[in-house]
């Protein structure tokens, strides 16, 4: 019986090997990601690495494994994660999407990093290994903040700018700038004064001008031997009708203030504004 079983296994092994050689040739994954120049194959090798990581993460969950087996599995998972990251960078170089930023990170998040040791992760039972548990329990060192006394200890007069003028450079620059600004201000003031003087002279000349005034004096006394000087009014004198209209408007305004409410007054003023009154 044993001889027959061995023959059958040998025949089966030969048949399987023959079929594999006939159907396909197994393609080996490149050792370095930069050797791959095909984007489709790069996606394929990355997916193969993810499958290997998934299997190893499932195996390391078994707490019954020996300590050295757990450590070897954890090292192998971290190595596969680094290799996956190399293939993701290669995919970006070949014009593919950025899987580092937008791809799923479930496998990376299943592990925990020791504080102060970025990059190496512990998965499954590796987190409970002797020496590793204490690293996770230990708190990360907190950065001490300096007190106000320590911050003020090294401050001197230079910090507050009391010695900025000792070299003489700033004083010279300030004097030059002050003289320049003063000259500009004086020039601007003189130009404004000259303009105001011209405007005032022209206005005064126009006030007392009588060239455009038509005046026909009537002689009250035919025997008078002198001509009367013309009278020019520079202030508009209202007529009798304008005075009566102004008094009427004032009376209306007083009655509105006495008997009308504020809302009615506002509506009335808005209506007058719209009507142009």
Domain 2-137 has CATH 1.10.287.660: yes
Do 111 and 96 meet the contact criterion of CB atoms below 8 Å apart?
no
In the chain, % of residues over pLDDT 90: 7
Tens digits of residue pLDDT in 170-194: 888 888 999 999 999 999 998 888 8
Domain boundaries, the chain: 2-137, 175-205, 241-275
Give the integer Cα–Cα distance in Å for 80 and 139: 29
State both tokens at 113: 């990093």
Nearest Cα to Cα of residue 56 among 3, 111, 1: 111
In the chain, % of residues over pLDDT 70: 70
Do 157 and 163 meet the contact criterion of CB atoms below 8 Å apart?
yes
Tens digits of residue pLDDT in 6-63: 666 677 777 777 777 766 556 788 888 888 888 888 888 888 898 898 898 889 888 8
Q: In this predicted structure, what is the pLDDT of residue 197?
A: 79
Q: In this predicted structure, what is the pLDDT of residue 143?
A: 72
State both tokens at 39: 């984007």
Residue 121 scores a pLDDT above 60: yes
Q: In this predicted structure, what is the pLDDT of residue 102?
A: 73
CA angle 112, 114, 118 (to 5 degrees): 90
Give the integer Cα–Cα distance in Å for 149 and 36: 60
Non-local CB neighbours of 108 within 8 Å, separated by 6+ positions: 81, 121
Burial of 87 (0-12, 13-18, 19+ CB in 10 A): buried
State both tokens at 103: 């791809």
Mean pLDDT of the chain: 76
Q: In this predicted structure, what is the pLDDT of residue 35?
A: 86
Q: pTM of the entire structure? A: 0.42
Burial 96-135 (b: 16+ CB within 10 A, else e): eeebeeeeeeebeebbeeeeeeeeebbbbbbbeeeebeeb
Do 201 and 209 meet the contact criterion of CB atoms below 8 Å apart?
no
Tens digits of residue pLDDT in 69-108: 998 998 998 898 889 989 989 999 988 888 887 766 655 5
Inter-axis angle of helices 240-259 and 262-275, to 10 degrees?
A: 150
Helix (H), strand (E) at residue 121: strand 117-122
User: Rounded to an integer, what is the distance from CA 64 to the centroid of its chain?
Assistant: 54
Residue 215 scores a pLDDT above 50: no
Do 33 and 19 meet the contact criterion of CB atoms below 8 Å apart?
no
């Amino acid at each position: 019986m044993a001889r027959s079983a061995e023959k059958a296994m040998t025949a089966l092994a030969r048949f399987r090997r023959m079929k594999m050689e006939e159907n396909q040739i197994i393609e080996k994954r490149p050792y370095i990601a930069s050797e791959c120049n095909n984007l489709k194959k790069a996606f394929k090798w990355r997916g193969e690495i993810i499958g290997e990581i998934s299997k190893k993460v499932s195996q390391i969950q078994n707490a019954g494994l020996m300590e050295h087996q757990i450590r070897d599995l954890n090292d192998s998972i971290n190595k596969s994660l680094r290799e996956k990251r190399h293939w993701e960078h290669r995919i970006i170089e070949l014009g593919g999407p950025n899987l580092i930023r937008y791809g799923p990170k479930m496998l990376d998040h299943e592990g925990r990093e020791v504080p102060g040791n970025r990059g190496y992760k512990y998965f499954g039972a590796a987190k409970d290994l002797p020496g590793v548990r204490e690293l996770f329990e230990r708190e990360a060192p907190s950065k001490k903040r300096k007190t106000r006394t320590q911050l003020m200890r090294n401050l001197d007069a230079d910090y507050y700018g009391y010695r900025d003028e000792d070299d003489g450079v700033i004083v010279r620059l300030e004097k030059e700038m002050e003289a320049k600004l003063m000259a500009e201000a004086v020039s601007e003031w003189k130009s404004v004064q000259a303009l105001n003087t011209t405007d005032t002279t022209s206005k005064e000349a126009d006030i007392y001008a009588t060239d455009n005034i038509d005046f026909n004096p009537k002689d009250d006394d035919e025997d008078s031997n002198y001509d009367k000087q013309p009278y020019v009014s520079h202030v508009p004198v209202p007529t009798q009708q304008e005075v009566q209209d102004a008094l009427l408007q004032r009376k209306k305004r007083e009655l509105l203030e006495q008997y009308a409410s504020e809302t009615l007054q506002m509506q009335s003023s808005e209506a007058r504004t719209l009507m142009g009154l």
